[in-house]
Structure 1
Amino acid sequence: MPAHDGGSNSGISAGGDVRIDASTVALNHSTAITEAPAETDREAAIAELRTAVRLLTEQLRSSQDRYEDGAELVEAAEHVEAELTREEPRRNALLRWLGFIAPGVQTTAAVAADVAAIQSSVTSLL
């Protein structure tokens, strides 16, 4: 194990598409914030979360026939999108819908990683 030189933290690369840097975890092309951001960053983080959920919804919509409950997964993702348009999104509602989506997409590793990253972001942001 290499000795720590006391210099700046350049993050941790866990191999593959996983990278941990300060309070952010990047999985493939998804990012999860692991600690609450400063209030000034919160709005930007929620905007990024909205984008991530929009992309997830599009991905589920385009491949819904690959999943046993494809139509329900798309509907749940649409509920998440709608909740994120509220002035104050409800954390429990978001986690409930994401909790429905997560087991339904386990057969697709990239989508499952995206859902996990979104769940982590919701947990830390709201």
Structure 2
Amino acid sequence: MKKLFYVCLAVLAFSCKKNEPEFVLLTYEDWYVFQSPTDRPIQGVWGDIDKTLLISTGIAVYRSVDRGTTWQAVIPHSSNGIFGITKQKDTLFAMTGLNNRGFGSTYRQALANPSQYSVDDGQTW
């Protein structure tokens, strides 16, 4: 009888459903907060919130023209990794490397190795 009671108690305990808390995007009065369209952290951001935004998640680049509400994958997968986007004159470059430098007690990282480019604000690469 005890065994039946403990088995029923175990079945009851494991059948309970946990309620996962919903993710709530924080809002601030003077800031826009946006999140990556995938479950990866944002590595780099380039653009203008009122025009075109590009974000890099390390392996992909996404583009938004509606303040980060929707994202379009413009570089869906890069085997090299993309750490950021930079612009020189009218050309955007996807940077696949980081230079690490130490100057005394100061440590700096700089984007390096442009691997892909776009001349139409990131629509095509």
Give the TM-score band, short-chain normalised: under 0.3
Pair member with larger Rg: 2
Structure 2 length normalisation: TM-score? 0.25
- Structure having the higher helix fraction is 1
- Structure having the higher strand fraction is 2
